[in-house]
Amino acid sequence: MPATYELIQTTTTTTSSAGITFDNISSNFTDLRIIVTPISVVASNYFYLRFNNDAFSNYSFNEIYTNGSGAFGYQSGVTTFIGVLFYTTFGTDSNNGYMCAIDIFDYSNATSYKNIISRASAVTDPNYPGTELTAGGWFNTAAITRIDLVSASTNNLGSGTVASLYGIKAA
């Protein structure tokens, strides 16, 4: 089934930041996609997702990742965020080749929990190589109107990080 992508917003950080927020998200789409090219202020960092400013234990995620020496898995249990680039940490070089695509399904449905799939790659950075697949959920039926991409360490999302939010309309 063909889908139509529509750019909703792009943000590029100009200073070190604790994160990026997409707010007042329209319910005009079926799904959302976020594309992030992160840069860190520290040598090893990750970021996570939160929805609608919810910092309570309403999330869970599972990851499969590789780091150049093998394949591994992680299961979070119930937690306060969905980890993205959780083990495939990203570095400080703006040419590091990191990219993360996050799909948020049925985000505006007010009767079901929200699910995400995230794919991340850092294969061009010899210091932090790897790929990662995350599946996660937010155990809340509210429509998503706000998405926070939060640096795991305060103000460590570096200048030049780009995040774009797309709406997807089903055909």
The pLDDT value recorded for residue 1 is 40
Evaluate whether 10 touches 146 at the Cβ level (below 8 Å): no
Parse the chain into domains and list their residue ranges.
3-170
Contacts of 70 (CB under 8 A, 6+ apart): none
Q: Which residue has the higher pLDDT, 154 or 17?
A: 17
Question: Who wins on pLDDT, 138 or 88?
Answer: 138
Q: Is 166 helix (H, G, I), strand (E, B) or coil?
A: strand
Extract the tokens encoding 99. Answer: 């990219």
CATH class of the domain at 3-170: mainly beta
pTM for this model (two decimals): 0.88
Note the pLDDT of residue 123. 57
- Mean of the per-residue pLDDT values of the chain: 83
- Tens-digit pLDDT profile for residues 15-64: 888 889 999 999 999 999 999 887 766 655 677 899 999 999 999 999 88
Contact 9, 25 (CB under 8 A): no
**Between these two residues, 9 and 65, which has the higher pLDDT value?**
9
Q: What is the mean pLDDT of residues 90-97?
A: 56
Instruction: Among 10-19, 21-30, 111-120, name the one with the lowest average pLDDT.
Output: 10-19
